[in-house]
Structure 1
Amino acid sequence: METLSFKNTLKSNLSAGLVVFLVALPLCLGVALASGAPLLSGIITGIVGGIIVGGLSGSQLAVSGPAAGLTTIVAAAIITLHSYEAFLLSVVLAGVIQIVLGLVKAGKVGLFFPSNVIKGMLAAIGIILILKQIPHAFGYDADAEGDFAFLQADKANTFSEINNVLSKLNMGAILIFALSMAVLMLWDTKLFKKVKAFPAGLVVVILGVLASAGLSALPDYMHLRTNSFVKIPVLSGISDFATILKFPAFSAISNPEVWTVALTIAFVASLETLLSIEAVDKLDPQKRSTPLNRELLAQGLGNTISGLIGGIPLTAVIVRGATNVSAGAKTKFSAIFHGVLLLVTVILIPKVLNMIPLASLAAILIMVGYKLTKLKLFTDMYKAGWNQFAPFIITVIAIILTDLLKGVLIGMAVSIIFILVNATKDLIFSTETLTDNGKVQRLVLSEQVTFLNKAHLNEFFSKIEKGSSVWIDASQTRYIEQDCLEILQDFKTKAVADNISCTITGLKDHYSFLEAKGELVAHSHDHNHQRYQDLFANNRKFIADKLHLDINYFTKLNAGQSPPYLIVGCSDSRAPLELITGAKPGEIFSQRNIANQVIPSDPNLMSVLQYAVEALKVQHIIICGHYGCGGIRAAVAGGTSGNLDQWLSHVRDVYRIHKEELDAITDPEMQHRRLVELNVREQIYQLKTTAIVQKALQNGQVLNIYGWVYDLADGMLHDLQISETETERNQQVVLV
């Protein structure tokens, strides 16, 4: 895993923090506007979310700020309480409630959300980002940036807004958007290799400002001016900022409605935070895990401070978190830096920020949305099976048509329905069993192991000490959901590294790849035995990876084979044919021997050749040698005896045939490489003399024959490109 020190991540974090700032700025204002709160309250919340929550949070990539999912609650609360100051008191109390939830370790609630629902949430957010930014990209949107609701305040909806913009296209905005998208798509290509270390988001914004200024200088009749910009209240300085701060009315603390609003905000904000944190953790390239109870404490303190100085409620926000990951952030410093930028720039350069066209920001957010909702995510979920795909796709649709929280709850309900249909019980219990070799921790799995068991599994495995013994009894288990399957596989991998004897027994059907055969308590863990066991561990991982993508993978593989290739290669352990060609199981039929010889008297090779040509009807036969071949070197050096010496005599025959050419090469290594190539050519000639190949060619069977050499020094395969002339000459000799 990459070492993430402050020094070697500073550049990436500054770049990512800048991009998040550019995206967060209009979102903070838009959420405040949609909530019916003062515009600067959104900025205040963004600053607190970046600096305070960013510093205290255990998440390295999540970004907190005002959340679109709370706008309806905030707007209704301000009206119900008849006072923005009374509402601020509710925000403070909500923060205190969140702190209490963190102290009582309520964060584990986040572990109960299945991965298919979380992935559905990510995909839905990506689609919403694209749909909601289309009007901004084309120059008109009656709703503020940050309004992500399907049904909007002006009685329109997401799709009708897109339809409305068709009659109000702004060519200036479209040109700026097109320029911005072109830069974002080309930035990671070789064309921009020398400058791509510079933040692409900043380049897009600068070009957008310059393009907007250039278009505004054109005559009005050309209709190329854009009028959609970031709109920040202009302050005269930090003193002006301080004078407009609002503070909570503590005199309203006895008002029951204040407490009702506080409880509502605490519940919704905590739930949205936990969902966003788990989603961002799934996007993290480093696969780090956020301590959820610490996150509730950080969020609680953030909301308390936000309410005290006039801000609206904050949560961890998936849009900003996904943007942070997409921009290349490494640690939490990027989130903190984005908060500092919000504070400094809003006070010092608001007029400059108001020159940023929304079309440029739309391009950035659409690119983030695209990365969240790639087609591969949908195909992978579909391949995982209906139990995974149905909750996933329903979550996507529900979030798009309602909001994040309602959509996730609908997805959860669908997941639970699937579980209840198949489940008869959901019990997992652990005990301690005594054996002749000592104590063994025993975990008994239930008939149905689902995401509801994630917390118990994680808790059990977290207590297993290095060097101990674990027995996982799955004799009653018929179904294991993908989330729990991954937990079991991760522990199996961890057990190898931590010298833990892990035995799983009783698994059924395609889950049996996890099962370890043999005694309950492990044998000696000496180095050689461990290396032997690693082969099985790697095999189990291979099976898990394949089943994760396609539950019927091995069923299909078992149905039969029709490989297009036969490759005759060397037995050298450094030249694995499938690995170096990237072929999948079922694509290569192979035979390997020392120095990749084709000897017509060898029954092994002839049997392989006959089956490949006559039964499998392979279309391509390849003789593959390799530079650095020990068999070739031994044949020339001599000193071998027995069967090996007899086998290598055929290589010495090749040397004698080409002795004049080889002796003229003074460099020993170059001489060896040339002999490797000549040996491959000779084996092709031998192959063509066989009755099997001759018969196939005479019957009109398509049979292409090639000669390859693999270079161990750089991993490259080289086609010797045996000419048709040589082929024809060889065939003529044989047929005569």
Structure 2
Amino acid sequence: MKPTARSSSSWRENLKYDFKSGLVVFLVAIPLCLGIALASGAPLFSGIIAGIVGGIVIGSLSGSQLSVSGPAAGLTVIVFSAIEKLGTFESFLLATMLAGLMQVGLGYLKAGVIGHFFPNSVIKGLLAAIGITLILKQIPHALGYDADAEGDFVFSQMDGENTFTEIINAFLNPSLGALLIAALAMAILVLWERPLIKKSALGSLLPGSLVAVIAGVLINLLYEMVSPGWVLSGNHLVSLPKANNAQEVLSLFTMPDFSQIGNVQVYISALTIAIVASLETLLNLEATDRLDPLKRNSPPNRELKAQGVGNFVSGLIGGLPVTSVIVRSSANVNSGARSRMSAVIHGILLLVCVITIPGWLNRIPLAALAAILLFIGYKLAKISIFRQMYQTGLSQFIPFVVTILAILFTDLLIGICIGLAVGLFFVLRANYRTTYFFHKEKQSSGEKIKINLSEHVSFLNKASLVHILDDLPENSFVEIDASHTMYMDHDILETIEDFKETARSKNIQLQFVGKEKLISQELDEPLPLPTPTSGADFEAYRKLFENNRQWVTEKLSLDPQYFEKLALGQQPKFLWIGCSDSRVPATEITGTSPGDMFVHRNVANLVVHTDLNLMSVLQYAVEVLKVKHIIVCGHYGCGGVQAAMEDKDLGMINKWLMNIKDVHRLHRTELTHLNQNDRFKRLVELNVIEQVYNLHKTSFVQRAWAENADLHIHGWVYDLRDGRIKDLEIDIHQLFEEYDEVYRFGNGATAPRTLSSTPNPLLQGSNS
């Protein structure tokens, strides 16, 4: 038996996932593009143009793997107002082009750093609010009441209605035909999430969203034959502009009015669009990164440049302004996208389909699309998310809930600003309370008070410190201990120095421990670090302590309770078995944070059943930590594999490398026909495959399967030359079909439930 592994390029490996997700986003985007254009008072096709540009142009240039761009609901009021103020749509297109140039400039000025200052609670509130908004806004469409445009997401609408009155109107004027289509589409989406369908050939080939849309079209055609009164038409269907020939197609595109280049109002509108679009993009980019199972950080400055180019192109050919859009992005993530190719595919589908088959697209009932968006909304706003946020404490839960309510009753940007204000209040409150640890002791000579300052004391803590110093009793002994403080603002140091005069007047004996260290810090002198000896050899060693202090300071500046939360325990989803090579750091190459990954490393990433160290790690990870994924990661250029290919006597390590030589022997026939370089690379892959097999042979893994644990095992190879990860997608069914009785421990475990072909959170959206 010879195991196999795919050697195709990364985009081909991801294509089947990206095409399915791109197709789903395409279906969701059509009515949203049209609805936003309608709500903005612009030509309908301008929304489609913006969707095409957002997919193809921005998708190609963006550094985000999962974000999808297009016309944004948050800009509808701004666009509507700008078109009215400028007088013509052509003048507005010029403003859109200029806004794009401004965004490119913001990218080069590195203004994207603003995106890093949105608190986690607010971002999660944004996602949940979008989910609830989708549900509330799609209920009327599911009931066949389509008076409100698809892209109108604000609470109070231009027609005098609001979100809740629209729902009431929908229930008072339902369409049984639309309701039946929506119910059937929802049933299909739920069914497609079940393992029986999801893991079948049908589920792999056809996304549930496409099946739901096709079912909706067929049922509406059936109505024409059976029950004409139930037929959906007009406003209840997608309504794309049609063009019968190339000349009519070209007429759908509009050029900007360059004669307005000297109009001041054009520049004011451009600046407004640039600022609002950039803020919305950064918000949605951060939110999409939160949804990304790999938890990668998208480069915000590159995104601003990409958005700028996109808006320039969109304005040039007659499209609306574009931003990163959380509705499309969340649909993209939930559909299993792995790379930004899915966004490009959605743009290509928009371009091709609206030009070639608009008549067929115009048969799609909005009720079927409403079911898709309802399903996405439910995933974004599950009850479990509210429960998790509540368990993190009120300082996180209150900004989370306030953000949701503010977005629901206003719009995205205003809601985020309100959520940020509440989040900032809790940050200030936390800083106010965590400046010091207060301790009193009674002595015969009076009262001794010790104030231990925390590691990071900023100007935000000044009010709290002044308050405690003012309340110190007379005739006491006070010790302010800053020996463990790594950073202190000059304002705090000055406050303590000023208190000395007050202390004398109240007969307080004041001792300030650690003052010398802080003063040297103020003078930018290096803090004393462990120095075992002098010389250049120890400079790198000393640098480790400096790096650690900078890292601690950075973490505490973002979250004062970061280390307190980290100390509460670990709940990693991943066990990483990798090579000891210093060039392959597990958390660095996967973008994971402390607490996300349980790690074991040895020479050449071997799984040896007599290695008690590894077996202890494996048992603890599977039985105690309940990890969901075990990853064996080798790397091209592995020194251990290379040594095993040679005939040198390396002493004690020979015994360890014998395991790799056994892999070489098992696959000698295949390896013999390869040149030296290809043989080396292939042996790295075969070594990973054999270690994955070794994991499946262990009693810990088999017992976990017998107990129906949701455990997945994967084999990866990391390429040092380009930093990319490749999933070998190892099929172990053949192994267990042939040697089932040999490797079974009699614990009732069947052949492995999960394979590497199951979508892996650390690879979804990656350029593996």
TM-score with structure 2 setting the length: 0.60
The one of 178, 187, 202 equivalent to 2:192 is 187
Deviations 1:65-114 (A, max 9, x none): 00000000000111111111111111111111101000111111100111
The one of 149, 157, 166 equivalent to 1:161 is 166
Query: Is the contact made by 1:574 and 1:712 (CA closer than 8 Å) also made in structure 2?
Result: no
The one of 41, 47, 50 equivalent to 1:45 is 50
SS in 2 for 1:65: strand
1:376 CA displacement: 1.4
1:166 CA displacement: 1.0
Query: Is the contact made by 1:139 and 1:169 (CA closer than 8 Å) also made in structure 2?
Result: yes
1:16 pairs with 2:111: no
Distance in structure 1 (CA, Å) of the matches to 2:596 and 2:344? 42
Distance in structure 1 (CA, Å) of the matches to 2:386 and 2:325? 23
1:436 aligned partner: 531
The one of 357, 369, 386 equivalent to 1:349 is 357
Distance in structure 2 (CA, Å) of the matches to 1:33 and 1:326? 27
2:75 aligned partner: 70
1:403 pairs with 2:411: yes
Deviations 1:440-488 (A, max 9, x none): 9xxxxxxxxxxxxxxxxxxxxxxx99994446459999x95885766xx
Distance in structure 2 (CA, Å) of the matches to 1:328 and 1:510? 31
Query: Is the contact made by 1:237 and 1:347 (CA closer than 8 Å) also made in structure 2?
Result: no
Please tell me the residue identity of whatever aligns with 2:30: L
1:418 pairs with 2:513: no
Distance in structure 1 (CA, Å) of the matches to 2:568 and 2:531? 27
1:269 aligned partner: 277
2:137 aligned partner: 132
1:170 aligned partner: 175
Structure 2 runs not aligned, ≥5 long: 1-5, 433-456, 460-486, 489-520, 570-579, 581-586, 588-592, 599-613, 627-698, 700-740, 750-768
Please tell me the residue identity of whatever aligns with 2:403: T
Please tell me the residue identity of whatever aligns with 2:62: S
Percentage identity across paired residues of the two chains: 48
Deviations 1:212-247 (A, max 9, x none): 1001222446x4656511001111133312123222
2:466 aligned partner: none
Distance in structure 2 (CA, Å) of the matches to 1:5 and 1:130? 36
2:309 aligned partner: 301
CA distance 1:715–1:32, shift in 2 (3 Å): farther
Distance in structure 2 (CA, Å) of the matches to 1:240 and 1:226? 24
Query: Is the contact made by 2:91 and 2:266 (CA closer than 8 Å) also made in structure 1?
Result: yes
Which has the larger displacement, 185-194 or 355-364?
A: 185-194
CA distance 1:64–1:238, shift in 2 (3 Å): farther
CA distance 1:150–1:712, shift in 2 (3 Å): farther
Higher alpha-carbon Rg = 1
CA distance 1:476–1:103, shift in 2 (3 Å): closer
Distance in structure 2 (CA, Å) of the matches to 1:267 and 1:351? 38
CA distance 1:511–1:284, shift in 2 (3 Å): closer
SS in 1 for 2:323: strand
Please tell me the residue identity of whatever aligns with 1:385: G
Q: Paired residues, what number?
A: 503
1:541 CA displacement: 6.0
1:543 CA displacement: 11
Query: Is the contact made by 1:96 and 1:304 (CA closer than 8 Å) also made in structure 2?
Result: yes
Query: Is the contact made by 2:399 and 2:419 (CA closer than 8 Å) also made in structure 1?
Result: yes
CA distance 1:473–1:224, shift in 2 (3 Å): same
SS in 1 for 2:121: helix
2:216 aligned partner: 208
1:380 aligned partner: 388
Query: Is the contact made by 1:94 and 1:266 (CA closer than 8 Å) also made in structure 2?
Result: yes
Query: Is the contact made by 2:285 and 2:298 (CA closer than 8 Å) also made in structure 1?
Result: yes
Structure 1 runs of 4+ aligned residues shifted over 3 Å read 223-227, 424-435, 437-440, 464-477, 479-486, 509-514, 540-545, 572-584, 711-719
Distance in structure 1 (CA, Å) of the matches to 2:12 and 2:169? 49
Query: Is the contact made by 1:212 and 1:226 (CA closer than 8 Å) also made in structure 2?
Result: no
SS in 1 for 2:193: coil
Distance in structure 1 (CA, Å) of the matches to 2:550 and 2:310? 45
2:293 aligned partner: 285
1:335 pairs with 2:343: yes
1:33 aligned partner: 38
1:122 aligned partner: 127
Please tell me the residue identity of whatever aligns with 1:255: N
Structure 1 runs not aligned, ≥5 long: 441-463, 487-506, 515-526, 528-533, 535-539, 546-571, 585-672, 674-710, 720-736
What's the Cα RMSD here? Answer: 3.7
SS in 2 for 1:145: coil
- Equivalent residues in 2 for 1:221-620, closer than 5 Å: 223=230, 225=232, 228-423=236-431, 426=458, 432-433=526-527, 434-437=529-532, 468-470=544-546, 472=548, 480=556, 483=559
Deviations 1:105-163 (A, max 9, x none): 11111001111100100000001011111111111121111111111121111111111
1:715 CA displacement: 7.4
The one of 72, 86, 111 equivalent to 2:116 is 111
Distance in structure 1 (CA, Å) of the matches to 2:533 and 2:55? 52
1:718 CA displacement: 7.2
Distance in structure 2 (CA, Å) of the matches to 1:718 and 1:24? 48
Query: Is the contact made by 1:115 and 1:483 (CA closer than 8 Å) also made in structure 2?
Result: no
Distance in structure 2 (CA, Å) of the matches to 1:714 and 1:575? 21
SS in 2 for 1:58: coil
Query: Is the contact made by 2:531 and 2:542 (CA closer than 8 Å) also made in structure 1?
Result: no
SS in 2 for 1:144: coil
Distance in structure 2 (CA, Å) of the matches to 1:123 and 1:467? 43
The one of 196, 200, 221 equivalent to 2:203 is 196
Which has the larger displacement, 6-15 or 466-475?
A: 466-475
Query: Is the contact made by 1:218 and 1:224 (CA closer than 8 Å) also made in structure 2?
Result: no
Which has the larger displacement, 351-360 or 197-206?
A: 197-206
CA distance 1:240–1:465, shift in 2 (3 Å): farther
Distance in structure 1 (CA, Å) of the matches to 2:13 and 2:152? 37
TM-score with structure 1 setting the length: 0.63
1:308 CA displacement: 1.0
Query: Is the contact made by 2:566 and 2:595 (CA closer than 8 Å) also made in structure 1?
Result: no
Distance in structure 2 (CA, Å) of the matches to 1:156 and 1:475? 51
Deviations 1:336-383 (A, max 9, x none): 111111111111111100000111111111111111111111111111
1:58 pairs with 2:90: no
Distance in structure 2 (CA, Å) of the matches to 1:473 and 1:712? 53
Which has the larger displacement, 236-245 or 336-345?
A: 236-245
Query: Is the contact made by 1:41 and 1:310 (CA closer than 8 Å) also made in structure 2?
Result: yes
1:291 CA displacement: 0.7
Please tell me the residue identity of whatever aligns with 2:386: F
CA distance 1:439–1:511, shift in 2 (3 Å): farther
1:250 CA displacement: 2.0
Query: Is the contact made by 1:231 and 1:354 (CA closer than 8 Å) also made in structure 2?
Result: yes
